[in-house]
Amino acid sequence: MFERRITIVVGHFGSGKTEIAVNGAVRIAEGGVPVSLIDLDVVKPYFRTREARELLCGLKVEVVAPDGENATADLPIVLPRVRTLCRDTSRKVVVDAGGDDTGARVLGSLSDVLAGQDPDLLLVLNFRRPFTPDVRSAVAMAREIEAAARLKVTGIVSNTHLMAETTADIVRDGLRMAREVADVLGVQVRAVAVEEGLGRVIAAAEGPGCEVFPLRRIVQPPFGTPRLGVPRSGPLFVLR
Amino acid sequence: MAKKLMKGCEAIGEAAIRAGCKLFFGYPITPQNEIPEYLSHRLPQVGGTFVQAESEVAASNMIYGAAGTGERVFTSSSSPGISLMQEAVSYLAGAELPVVIVNIMRAGPGLGGILPSQADYFQATKGGGHGDYNTLVLAPWSVQEAADLVADAFDLADYYRNPVYVLGDGLIGQMMEPVLFREDRKPLKDLPPKAWASTGWKGDRPRAVINSLYLDADTLERHNQDLQAKYATMRRDEVRWQGYGLDEDYDVLIVAYGTVARVCLTAVEELREEGVKAAILRPITLYPFPYEALRQAASKARAVLVVELSAGQMVQDVQLAVAGARPIHFHGRTGGNLVSPDEAAAKVREVLDGRSQEVRDA
């Protein structure tokens, strides 16, 4: 993944596009290649690529997103630099699109500059999300995104997970369904993404016949899942 | 059903449907747009009705009308939108209509910003609109609990014939976590048929007129006395809270609700590793507030620390509970900034080494 000059990450709302785009840009930068990460997310208001701007700048990833007050606005802002970067062959570009066909519509507006650049359009799939529980719904969503983006999906990233509750079976089931979607779309599953630290899950997913892409969760709230190590007390609910 | 990975807003929408709610009236506002978005997809699938009203004022009066039919009714909004609904909430309380209102709070005052906040505490817990009334207020700290409390909220609204708020900071609406919807959930209460509902008069009973207008002073006073008796029952029966580390020794008792309590729990776990003893009391109901539980928990501590995403609103209820028995300290962030675990831990250390000033005049 992320071999072509432009990689665009699309998928259903909440499928994990932002984390995959951020991790991909970091990987490119670590290889010493100049890279820009374009935050085109006009759908979700929190947990956007721009919130990792400081960290990413330190890792030599240029973050292209509204700044100042506009960074935390719920406005569909597309910066002029986005079009320039699409044509700038001196840099690699990773695009984090917003969710669903709604988010992909912004890509449609850039189709005149994107079309000649042979971009990789990676579809991220998490079958544990409520609106893509099965192959049929995932294919339907892919078609909607393609129509809105005016681009064809060129590869799939299998990202089925339940955060800290992810098991090897969840990853394997997701990969199996992702392959079925890939067959319908006539593309390959390019990688299976697994959160870093879930070592046993990665081990179980090994040998899937595609790349295992270790994900570091970067854009997340400032606390973990409540651990039960601290003794609890008190009534959850008192019924008289 | 297998666990799903859901945004808080989506889980809230699904929980409402599973609670038998088929009527949603609302108006979009960040950061809760995914609730109407989700329901606009899902309600038609289950034979329900989704209406995007022309404003929050319209939506809140639509829920008044719809609740009068005895159906389960739901609206959601975020802080400025909830302010616009306050007239109708007062009417709902006056007419004793059961509705569930979800407020995914953003930073204020005024239009403020779209980032998380807990600064609608006073509005939610102290009435909010005009007249003597109260609403139950449930405050989840996780996506799973948001779904569970929405289900409870519908039962409580029907049982008390009263509006019930589910109050979440912006993160509750926007973060994603695994959620399980139990098929075997039982109602919290025995819920009688809604004989009061206005469903068309067939001549076999007195007309069910739903109103909050009482022109006679004595009649209105009796109505108020009935309402106050109902709120007293809520205060007696509906207090919910959770403690973390209360059975151990602790020097500082942290009081926090919603996602802030999770930040504080992360801080408390770090502090315990370095030998600093702190515990947490997390109110789950903000109205009724767990005064008695807090009074007892505070008596074991040297000091109490309130942490909120506001300028210090829950502090007043903590003061009422502690009644001067222990010094109270406060740490809050506003504007949409979050409290970090490091910040909370640093504040606990400051409370213990005397660098923190106690709250005196909140």
pLDDT band at A167 (very low <50, low <70, confident <90, very high): confident
Same domain membership, residue B253 and residue B179: no
Mean local confidence (pLDDT), A116-132: 95
Could you tell me if B77 and B32 are in contact, meaning their C-beta atoms sit under 8 angstroms apart?
Answer: yes
Nearest to A222 among B14, B38, B340 (CB): B340
**Inter-chain contact A46–B31, Cβ cutoff 8 Å?**
yes
Which of A151, A127, A121 minimizes the C-alpha distance to A139?
A127
Q: How far apart are CA B151 and CA B80, in angstroms?
A: 25
Q: Does A230 touch chain B (CB under 8 A)?
A: yes
**Each residue's pLDDT tens digit, A60-116:** 999 999 988 888 888 889 999 999 999 999 999 999 999 989 999 999 999 999 988
Which of B208, B127, B188 minimizes the C-alpha distance to B163?
B127
Give the residue from B186, B211, B237 where a domain finishes. B237
pLDDT band at A199 (very low <50, low <70, confident <90, very high): low
Asked whether residue B208 is assigned to any structural domain, the reply reads: no
Asked whether residue B305 is assigned to any structural domain, the reply reads: yes
Asked whether residue B107 is assigned to any structural domain, the reply reads: yes
What pLDDT was estimated at residue A235? 34
Nearest to B266 among A223, A234, A235 (CB): A223
Asked whether residue B211 is assigned to any structural domain, the reply reads: no
Same domain membership, residue B164 and residue B18: yes
- Find the CATH number of the domain harbouring B80: 3.40.50.970
Could you tell me if A236 and B242 are in contact, meaning their C-beta atoms sit under 8 angstroms apart?
Answer: yes
Question: Domain residues of chain A, as ranges?
Answer: 6-215
Same domain membership, residue B253 and residue B153: no
Name residue B106's beta-bridge partners. Answer: B116
Same domain membership, residue B274 and residue B231: no
**Inter-chain contact B177–A163, Cβ cutoff 8 Å?**
yes
Same domain membership, residue B170 and residue B45: yes
Give the residue from B185, B208, B237 where a domain finishes. B237
**Inter-chain contact B259–A225, Cβ cutoff 8 Å?**
no
Torsion of CA A16, A21, A24, A26, to 10 degrees: -120
**Each residue's pLDDT tens digit, B101-160:** 999 999 999 999 999 999 999 999 999 999 999 999 999 999 999 999 999 999 999 999
Length of chain B (residues): 362
Q: Using a pLDDT cut of 90, give the percent of chain B over it.
A: 96
What pLDDT was estimated at residue B313? 98
CA B344-B299-B321 angle, to 5 degrees, is 80
Side-chain-side CA neighbours of A21 within 13 Å: the count stands at 38
**Each residue's pLDDT tens digit, A148-166:** 999 999 999 999 999 888 8
Same domain membership, residue B169 and residue B278: no
- Most B CBs within 10 A among A161, A198, A219, A233, hence the mutation to make, goes to A233
Residue A101 Cα distances to A11, A104, A142, B249, angstroms: 8, 5, 8, 54
Same domain membership, residue B301 and residue B180: no
| Residue B109 preceded by cis peptide, ω within 30 | yes
Q: How far apart are CA B248 and CA A85, in angstroms?
A: 58
Within 8 A by CB and 6+ apart from B169, the residues are B104, B105, B116, B117, B118, B258, B259, B260, B309
Same domain membership, residue B37 and residue B158: yes
Nearest to B244 among A45, A225, A232 (CB): A232
Q: Which residues of chain B have pLDDT under 70?
A: 362
Q: How far apart are CA B254 and CA B318, in angstroms?
A: 11
What pLDDT was estimated at residue B88? 98
Same domain membership, residue B38 and residue B168: yes
Could you tell me if A123 and A142 are in contact, meaning their C-beta atoms sit under 8 angstroms apart?
Answer: yes
Same domain membership, residue B274 and residue B189: no
Asked whether residue B220 is assigned to any structural domain, the reply reads: no
B110 phi, psi to nearest 5 deg = 65, -145
Residues A6-215, CATH architecture: 3-Layer(aba) Sandwich (3.40)
What pLDDT was estimated at residue B243? 96
Asked whether residue B209 is assigned to any structural domain, the reply reads: no
pLDDT band at A186 (very low <50, low <70, confident <90, very high): very high
What pLDDT was estimated at residue A205? 57
Asked whether residue B362 is assigned to any structural domain, the reply reads: no
Kindly provide the ipTM of the predicted complex, given to two decimals. 0.89
Asked whether residue B100 is assigned to any structural domain, the reply reads: yes
Range of the domain at B273: 243-353
Output the 3-class SS for B189-244. CCCCCCCCCCCCCCCCCCCCCCCCCCCCHHHHHHHHHHHHHHHHHHHHHCCCEEEE
pLDDT at A233 over 70: no
Q: How far apart are CA B44 and CA B162, in angstroms?
A: 27
Q: Using a pLDDT cut of 70, give the percent of chain A over it.
A: 88
What pLDDT was estimated at residue A55? 85
- Find the CATH number of the domain harbouring B310: 3.40.50.920
Give the residue from B237, B263, B298 where a domain finishes. B237
Same domain membership, residue B338 and residue B288: yes
Tally of structural domains, chain B = 2
Same domain membership, residue B262 and residue B183: no
